[in-house]
Structure 1
């Protein structure tokens, strides 16, 4: 597997670890609202699985049977294992195609679009279920650079809402969340 494919798998593992901790987060944690407007925790997880499966299928890369979504952490693990198997096939990670932002590879798209999505949605799930979440300055810089490369498309329908203001001394985590239209002070208890 390439370094870029490994980057995606690290992000997928981190997302899975957040999901594994959800069950202890209240009576109906999967139905809890998230900072992603009008989406529950369940919606976020199903979105991650469905969009990644759709991308791979459109590239004629079958990630295996769709997982049963009754147990979301288990479904995520099965899905992530299927993605790892696809990315580990000879030549798949390096395979080029014409993407939305130009010529790219399967692994780059998985790491820098779908993996980016997992980091942000990991925040959504963690915050909705009372888990701590933060990223390093280095990871924030990487995520900002990826967002920069998307230009105005970052704020297209279905991607991110307009940025929200934060103080000049906000943390790297808070600056990133605010840039993506999420209130860093969002609290599930206030929803």
Structure 2
């Protein structure tokens, strides 16, 4: 198993634990993502799994809908992505993406896998669960964000730049100089680290 597959599985495990921890009465809770409920956060993650399959001519397999069973929907979607990561021929297939040609494995690592800890925080904060992001993921994401060229960062902050209704990052939120690395990362991507439902 590759380092990329290991990283994805570790992050998907953490996200799944948070999904499982949502009580039935919490799915309509507001989240730190404006206009999204807790259910919408998981729906977005499931849709991002589908987006990783599209360049390979694949789609998500049969599964309960997000409205029926969010836990089962996520588990089915992650199984579809893990099947790609476990197949060297598929994992190494190059496709065109919004940021250029990359292998399926790279695409999953750079987009989907990076999304899991951040949206895991959104879901945890929306539902009153432990919202601590693995420090290794915080440092990796923070280093990656600071290395982005200014013009690409601006594109990420521009609503619709990657498609209709797609907003990657919000405007940076101000935090104290001595804020934790996690809070600085969240603020950089447009989250208020002190947000509560």
Q: Which residue of 2 aligns with 1:16?
A: 16
Counterparts of 2:170 and 2:135 in 1: how far apart (Å)? Answer: 23
Partner of residue 176 from structure 1, selected from 185, 189, 193: 185
Gaps (5+ residues) in structure 1? none
Correspondence 1:17-166 to 2 at 5 A: 17-23=17-23, 28-69=25-66, 70-147=68-145, 148-149=147-148, 150-157=152-159, 158-166=167-175
Q: What per-residue deviation string (whole Å, max 9, x for no partner) do you get for residues 48-98 of structure 1?
A: 111221331232134422443211112111211121112212311122223
TM-score (norm 2): 0.86
Report the CA distance between 1:2 and its aligned residue: 2.3
TM-score by length of 1: 0.88
Larger RCO (CA within 8 A; separation ≥ 6): 1
Deviations 1:27-66 (A, max 9, x none): 6200000000010011111111112213312321344224
1:5 touches 1:93 (CA, 8 Å); kept in 2? no
Do 2:55 and 2:95's aligned partners in 1 also have CA atoms closer than 8 Å?
A: no
- Is this contact kept in 2: 1:164–1:183, CA < 8 A? yes
**Greater shift in the superposed pair: 56-65 or 36-45:** 56-65
Query: Once superposed, which parts of structure 1, at least 4 consecutive aligned residues long, lie more than 4 Å away?
Result: none
Cα distance in 2 for residues equivalent to 1:137 and 1:95 = 31
Aligned residues: 185
Instruction: Point out the more displaced range, 166-175 or 96-105.
Output: 96-105
